[in-house]
Structure 1
Amino acid sequence: MSDTGLKHSITEAMKAAMRARDQKRLGTIRLMLADIKRIEVDERIELDDARILAVLDKMQKQRRDSIEQFAQAGRQDLVDIETAEMEVIQTFLPAPFTDEELEILIEQAITESGAESAKDMGKVMGLLKQRAQGRADMTAINKKVKARLG
């Protein structure tokens, strides 16, 4: 069983964090590897880079949601922890799309799918999810597509 490129990079980063005694980074990387391993064991498969990106993207979304809730509750200590974890996870994700790139991607997906109204959102989002996974916040994309089609 060989590691995929991304999984191998995460494992190497874990070793580097252990050598550097960087406990915060190490803890986050271990969480990432545990999530990946859990899915591999549950589904009895080895995840490819695309699926690992989806896992990391989901972890980012969870942290964004947590940060929002902790900020509303006035828990800055927890906001700081979640923000630090997001920063570590972000280092393994591809560079995010710029607003211009995102607009072009949305236009292409709408054209490709032949979408004409909000009823066609599913087709457009299906295409965008494949192309933007790990590089953009799908909630923000959803809002832009809805505004464009609505």
Structure 2
Amino acid sequence: MAVKVSLLERLNQDMKTAMKNKEKTKLSVIRMLRSEIKNEEIQRQHTLSDEEVIEVLMRELKKRKDALQQFEEAGRDDLVQQLREEITVIEPYLPEQLSEEELRELVREVVQEIGASSKADMGKVMKAIMPRVKGRADGKLVNRLVQEVLS
């Protein structure tokens, strides 16, 4: 039977491998992630669970995706390439993301469960759906799909 390795242990193992293989980008991204996790542990005053580590990783991924969009618009190809590499390092540590179709189906289910009928119910739907997709879907995408279903 395979032993379940915590996300933090996996990051540490991958950091050592990146050091040995001289993978600079991967090494720097993992170090930054570990630093963010450590800062979060200091703030919360306890060792983070895998779910809490995923929250930190999602936050870091979101920062990069937002910055990526801005750099693409500004034509900063050098920074765009760097951010894409960072994103490809972070993504494997996150749970598999829901496809847009799976997400749309889930939104429809939640809208029916709640009995939402108009955009006025948007807050209720978002409140009900976000805990279900935590770590597996981008909030902006969820928001857009909820608006589509409610309109």
Q: Same fold (TM over 0.5)?
A: yes
In structure 2, give the amino acid aligned to 1:116.
S
1:39 alignment partner in structure 2: 40
2:83 alignment partner in structure 1: 82
Contact 2:110 2:128 survives alignment (8 Å):
yes
Cα drift, residue 46 of structure 1? 1.7
2:50 alignment partner in structure 1: 49
Distance 2:107 2:79 in 1: 35
Instruction: Check 1:112–1:5 CA distance in 2 against 1; reply closer, same or farther (3 A cut).
Output: farther
Distance 2:95 2:109 in 1: 20
The list of structure 1 runs, each at least 4 consecutive aligned residues, that deviate by more than 4 angstroms after superposition, is: none
2:18 alignment partner in structure 1: 17
1:107 alignment partner in structure 2: 108
1:29 alignment partner in structure 2: 30
Instruction: Check 1:52–1:123 CA distance in 2 against 1; reply closer, same or farther (3 A cut).
Output: farther
Distance 1:113 1:19 in 2: 52
Cα drift, residue 85 of structure 1? 0.4
Distance 2:126 2:149 in 1: 12
1:59-101 Cα distance to aligned partner (Å, 9 max, x none)? 1111111111111111100001111000100010122112221
Distance 2:20 2:114 in 1: 49
- Identity rate of aligned residues, in percent? 36
Q: CA RMSD in A?
A: 1.6
Give the alignment's TM-score, normalised by structure 1.
Answer: 0.89
